[in-house]
Amino acid sequence: MRKLSMTLIAALLAIVSLSGQPPAVDTFIAAIEGPQSGRTGDFVALTLDAAMQKLAVPGMSIAVIRDFDIHWSKGYGIADTVSGARVSPDTLFQAASISKPVAAMAVLKAVQDGRFTLDQDVNTVLKSWKVPASEMTAQQPVTLRGLLSHTSGTDDGFGFPGYKPDAPRPSLAQILDGAPPSNVGKVIVARPPLTAFKYSGGGVTLVQLLMTDAMKRPFDEMMRDTVLKPLGMSHSAYEQPLSAERDRNAARAHDRAGAARDVKWHVYPELAAAGLWTTSPDLARFGIELQKSLHGKSNRVLNRAMANEMASPVGVGPFAIGMQMNKAGEGWYLNHGGSNWGFQCLLFVHKIKGYGFAAMTNGDAGGRLLAELQQRVAAAYKWDMLDQPLRR
């Protein structure tokens, strides 16, 4: 099937459509894995495996969503070039910044339960650290709505590089203050809240501290009980460093040349911002739950009104609470990418239609591969991001 041309695949799809039967899963997989037609690009003439090799991405895991369910999931390539372990759908990858929307769902559950609101001053909830008073917050305080949409005015100017497993790790307060052994600068409020969008991992680290202060529980346990377990994300954990038991099924970090990093992975005490380990099917389960909640078809964590907070940009920038929204073709899509040391990943789901995908890679060049994958999935499933506007 992989050697079939896109023209033949299209013909097969047409025949199946005329017969009244839905296309087989293998037909969709073949359309995604095979060479592409109808568009230009560096990788369209290649199979998916060949594109991985060209980009030196050792491994990838994919879960495709159709009709509010996982249509299929599959692993590609090598999880660890040192051990030779292959990727399966159950291989763990670092979700990197996709940790943020998963954490945001837990925050919204606490709001739903009446613990605090999205719009109150975070200093009224924080106990172990406070946002310093300044002229920037004189008129509008820092709020959870601002922090989770990256419009709070917090400015750290960094991503999180993580720490080697044997290195000292800072507390959350040390990270926020930029104090040793933190390896990043301090978090500051550089502009009045809700005046501009600027992505801030430091702001989401402040959210993590607020949640542990308010709920009086370790963040990893809170996330397990509030989001991961209710959604059936049984392979996932905000566990840093990863336990030996989970590490047996974890991917290794690789550089842009596809070479193994000097240690298997880095450790991220910034759990809410970068600390989730998960699989592509588990990540898809999170996306499906959000889609269903937006339709009022599921409330395992959030009711419909609260789920809408994750799908309604706050008015400044492209982010809602935790998730980014973008228009592609005729569709509106909720999405979030992730980039940690040696890992790249993407969650991409339609706001109202029950389709999307989650994919995870273990190489620094994975971002380009994920962009190509997005186009292939959209073409195979005829997403509305490829539709032409109506002409009048």
- Specify if 107 maps to a domain: yes
State the pLDDT at residue 11. Answer: 44
Helix intervals (H) in the chain:
6-19, 25-33, 48-55, 99-112, 144-148, 172-177, 201-215, 219-223, 244-247, 271-274, 280-294, 304-309, 366-381
- The answer to whether position 271 is within a domain reads yes
> Could you give the C-alpha distances from 201 to 20, 138, 154, in angstroms and in order?
49, 23, 9
Could you list the residue range(s) of the whole structural domain that residue 270 is in? 35-386
Confirm whether 28 is domain-assigned. no
Q: How far apart are CA 212 and CA 159, in angstroms?
A: 22
d(CA 176, CA 205): 8
Alpha helices in 275-331 (DSSP H): 280-294, 304-309
How many domains does the structure of the chain reveal?
Answer: 1
pLDDT in tens, the chain (392 residues): 444 444 444 444 444 444 455 689 999 999 999 999 989 999 999 999 999 999 999 999 999 999 999 999 999 999 999 999 999 999 999 999 999 999 999 999 999 999 999 999 999 999 999 999 999 999 999 999 999 999 999 988 668 999 999 999 999 999 999 999 999 999 999 999 999 999 999 999 999 999 999 999 999 999 999 999 999 999 999 999 999 999 999 999 999 999 999 999 999 999 999 999 999 999 999 999 999 999 999 999 999 999 999 999 999 999 999 999 999 999 999 999 999 999 999 999 999 999 999 999 999 999 999 999 999 999 999 999 876 544 44
- Distant-in-sequence, close-in-space partners of 48: CB < 8 Å, separation ≥ 6: 32, 33, 34, 76, 373, 376
Q: In one letter, which amino acid is 134?
A: S
Say what the pLDDT of residue 18 is. Answer: 41
Assigned domain for 23 exists: no
Residue 258 lies in a domain: yes
CATH code of residue 71 = 3.40.710.10
Plot region of 210 (φ>0 → left; ψ -120 to 50 → alpha; else → beta): alpha
* CA nearest to 309, candidates 39, 16, 87, 111: 111
Q: Tally DSSP H helices, then E strands, for the chain.
A: 13, 10
In a domain, 21, yes or no: no
**Where on the phi/psi map is residue 391: left (φ > 0), alpha (ψ -120 to 50), or beta?**
beta
pLDDT value of position 7: 43
Q: Residue length, the chain?
A: 392
Assigned domain for 297 exists: yes
Q: What is the pLDDT of residue 225?
A: 98
Q: Residue 185: inside a domain, yes or no?
A: yes
